Amino acid sequence: MNAPIRIVIADDHVLVRQGIRAFMETHDDLDIVGEAEDAAGAVALCAEHRPHVALVDLVMPGGGVEATRAIRAASAKTQVVLLTSFEDTQQIVAAVQAGALSCLLKDIDADALADTLRKAARGEAVLHPRVAAKLMDTLRRGGEPGGEALQSLSQREREVLTLMAEGLSNLQIAERLGIGEKTVKTHVSNVLSKLNVNDRTQAAVYAWKSGMKQRPQ
């Protein structure tokens, strides 16, 4: 049996933390190693425990964006999953740029949250559909960043990038494009390298900012 996924919860609402802990304790593969009520506490816990995942409230004392940046600096292998009641595009973009992997709204159901934490431990990003839609609508108005980098992508890599921006997994992209999943992984790796970004979420933000739209197949 694999070791449990170590998780730190950071939220200034005690009931939220207690509710998440109570549910996670029903799963043998999820282990809550600490709780914090503010950014400073979250960073200290991550530096101490080096958790696989930090579940961070975007709006809490000290700020979710600042917490994300400091957590990634203190424990580089800890993936940050944002949890928020608000669809604040500007803060979400800032948090992603600071190193957050995923962003969820607090209306997510418990099973989906658990699945997202497992994906985060594997480095797989998840964005709530409403968050993704708002980001695409807002960021595509901001002009095209790094035109030369985008031009360096092959046609297939651009197709893969637009599907990544929709939040599709490698398997879903493979099915959409009619290619193998291993081939998709290669394309994703090339896209990350050419755009000089660290993960799928940052690549998706790059695509949204560029105004790219999915091409018909």
The predicted pLDDT at position 216 comes to: 33
Please determine, looking at this structure, whether the domain spanning 5-136 carries the CATH number 1.10.3720.10: no
pLDDT average, residue stretch 83-109: 82
The predicted pLDDT at position 127 comes to: 82
**pLDDT mean across residues, the chain:** 85
Q: Do the domains spanning 5-136 and 143-210 agree at the CATH topology level? A: no
The predicted pLDDT at position 138 comes to: 56
User: Does the pLDDT value for residue 1 go beyond 50?
Assistant: no
The predicted pLDDT at position 140 comes to: 57
The predicted pLDDT at position 174 comes to: 94
Tokens encoding 100: 């957050």
Q: Where are the domains of the chain?
A: 5-136, 143-210
pLDDT average, residue stretch 58-83: 92
143-210 topology per CATH: Arc Repressor Mutant, subunit A (1.10.10)
Residue carrying the six token digits 């431990």:
121
The predicted pLDDT at position 85 comes to: 81
Residue-wise pLDDT for 122-170, tens only, equals 999 888 777 777 666 655 555 444 555 677 788 898 889 888 888 888 9
Q: What is the rounded CA–CA span in Å between residue 140 and residue 93?
A: 12
How many alpha carbons fall within 13 Å on the CB side of residue 46?
29
Q: Is 56 exposed, middle or buried (0-12, 13-18, 19+ CB in 10 A)?
A: buried
**Phi, then psi, of 55 in degrees rounded to 5:** -95, 110
The predicted pLDDT at position 194 comes to: 81
- Could you give the percent of the chain with pLDDT greater than 70? 87
The predicted pLDDT at position 212 comes to: 64
Neighbouring residues of 144: CB distance < 8 A, sequence distance ≥ 6: 150, 209, 210, 211
The predicted pLDDT at position 197 comes to: 79
Q: What string of H, E and C letters represents the secondary structure of the chain?
A: CCCCEEEEEECCCHHHHHHHHHHHCCCCCEEEEEEECCHHHHHHHHHHHCCCEEEEECCCCCCHHHHHHHHHHHCCCCEEEEEECCCCHHHHHHHHHHCCCEEEECCCCHHHHHHHHHHHHCCCCCECHHHHHHHHHHHHHHCCCCHHHHHCCCHHHHHHHHHHHCCCCHHHHHHHHCCCHHHHHHHHHHHHHHHCCCCHHHHHHHHHHHCCCCCCC
Confidence of residue 213 (pLDDT cuts 50, 70, 90): very low
- Among 13-17, 90-94, 96-100, 103-107, the minimum mean pLDDT is found in 90-94
The predicted pLDDT at position 42 comes to: 97
